[in-house]
């Protein structure tokens, strides 16, 4: 079913992209209303963090729910939709107006607003995987260690510097590498196998290939294959070599280094020897044990028709 044939709710973050979200929402809403009519379209602007979860969880009467903003609003909307039963779960659409826009990149949605709206209008639903970690769902990325520290640091750095996209992530990454390169001990079970112990600087669990505004941490990841792609960077790594590998990851060229391990699994149980911060689609979670599983084809998501 095309989006204009049913009822659509647009949930927008007005604070996205350093405050450009409100204007972007107004412009997108004008195009969407013109295409489907007032009676089939509703717009809600969020006023606080995690409000979009509640809005999406109550959207069972809509056929489509669009998330406008960065990866954070997409994460919230997806979590809200996952509270609905499968038969009542609307299709998810993404209009990227954020700093990273990694899930939109995975879907093939343009970062140009007008084209993104047109892609959503003409798109068709595709069944996509969703991850679940300690009860929290995610659509693109979950990570521990260095990459989590970078993702979380960008939140405050964006406010201070007004940087966005790759420049924001690169600035944060270089700062973390030079001043906060920390080794973590872990024990993990992959797909229920015997536990594996080791150390890591970086541990990424990916549904899509990128995080941090296009860093191709797991270049071969597919969002609908029923598997996570894992990237684990292990010691020994000097600051200089870690920095070089980090820069190579922008284009996915870090895969050639022996300190970087790649796996594909459908579930994992990871324990650390102390509580640490992790990021899930760029949002903070904290713990010392993380139970992670894939939920295959859980969300129907609009992807471009061309």
Same domain, 116 and 168: no
85 and 154, same domain (yes or no): no
Whether 90 and 145 share a structural domain: no
Residue 132 lies in a domain: no
Residue 261 and residue 173 share a domain:
yes
State the Cα–Cα distance between residues 206 and 142, nearest whole angstrom. Answer: 6
Q: What is the CATH number of the domain that holds 77?
A: 3.40.50.10330
Q: Which of 90, 122, 154 is the last residue of a domain?
A: 122
In a domain, 304, yes or no: no
User: 0.85 exceeded by the pTM?
Assistant: yes
* Residues recorded for the chain: 306
Does one domain contain both 147 and 86?
no
In this predicted structure, what is the pLDDT of residue 170? 80
Verify that 92 and 156 share a domain, yes or no. no
Whether residue 255 lies inside any domain: the answer is yes
Same domain, 102 and 212: no
Give the structural domain span for 8. Answer: 3-122
Residues 16 and 101 in one domain: yes
Residues 157, 291 within the same domain: yes
Number of domains forming the structure of the chain: 2
CA 215 – CA 158 distance, rounded (Å): 18
> What does pLDDT average to in each consecutive run of 10 residues of the chain (306 residues)?
79 92 97 94 96 98 97 97 94 95 97 97 96 97 86 78 78 80 94 96 96 93 98 91 86 92 98 92 93 98 86
Q: Is 117 in the same domain as 153?
A: no
Measure CA of the first residue to CA of the last residue in the chain; give whole Å.
Answer: 16
- 136 part of a folded domain: no
**Where are any strands of DSSP class E within the chain?**
8-12, 41-45, 64-69, 91-96, 124-133, 136-138, 141-145, 184-190, 196-200, 202-206, 228-233, 260-265, 267-280, 283-303
Residue 2 is predicted with a pLDDT of 60
215 lies in the same domain as 99: no
CATH number at residue 244: 2.60.200.40
**Has residue 286 been placed in a domain?**
yes
Q: Which of 68, 87, 122 is the last residue of a domain?
A: 122
**pLDDT for residue 4:** 57
Dihedral sign computed on CA atoms, order 21, 279, 51, 30? positive
CA dist 247 and 242 (Å) reads: 9
Question: Are 260 and 168 members of one domain?
Answer: yes
């Amino acid at each position: 079913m095309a989006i204009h044939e049913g009822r659509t709710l647009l949930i927008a973050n007005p604070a996205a992209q350093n405050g450009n979200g409100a204007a972007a929402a107004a412009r997108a809403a004008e195009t969407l209303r013109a295409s489907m009519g007032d009676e089939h379209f509703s717009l809600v602007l969020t006023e606080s963090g995690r409000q979009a979860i509640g809005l999406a969880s109550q959207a069972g009467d809509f056929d489509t729910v669009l998330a406008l903003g960065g990866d954070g609003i997409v994460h919230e909307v997806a979590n809200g939709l996952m509270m609905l039963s499968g038969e009542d779960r609307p299709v998810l659409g993404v209009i990227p107006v954020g700093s990273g826009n990694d899930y939109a990149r995975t879907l093939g949605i343009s970062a140009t607003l007008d084209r993104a709206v047109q892609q959503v209008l003409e798109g068709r639903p595709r069944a996509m995987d969703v991850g679940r970690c300690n009860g929290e769902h995610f659509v693109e990325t979950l990570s521990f260690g260095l990459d989590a520290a970078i993702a979380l640091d960008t939140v405050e750095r964006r406010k201070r510097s007004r940087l966005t996209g790759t420049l924001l992530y690169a600035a944060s990454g270089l700062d973390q590498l030079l001043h906060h390169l920390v080794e973590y001990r872990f024990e993990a079970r992959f797909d229920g196998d015997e536990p594996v112990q080791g150390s890591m600087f970086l541990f990424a669990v990916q549904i899509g290939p990128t995080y941090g505004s296009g860093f191709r941490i797991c270049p071969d990841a597919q969002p609908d294959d029923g598997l996570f792609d894992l990237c684990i960077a292990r010691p020994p790594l000097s600051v200089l070599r870690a920095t070089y590998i980090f820069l190579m990851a922008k284009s996915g060229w870090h895969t050639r280094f022996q300190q970087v391990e790649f796996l594909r699994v459908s579930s994992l149980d990871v324990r650390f020897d102390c509580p640490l911060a992790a990021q899930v689609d760029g949002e903070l979670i904290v713990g010392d044990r993380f139970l992670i599983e894939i939920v295959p084809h859980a969300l129907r998501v609009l992807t471009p028709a061309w």
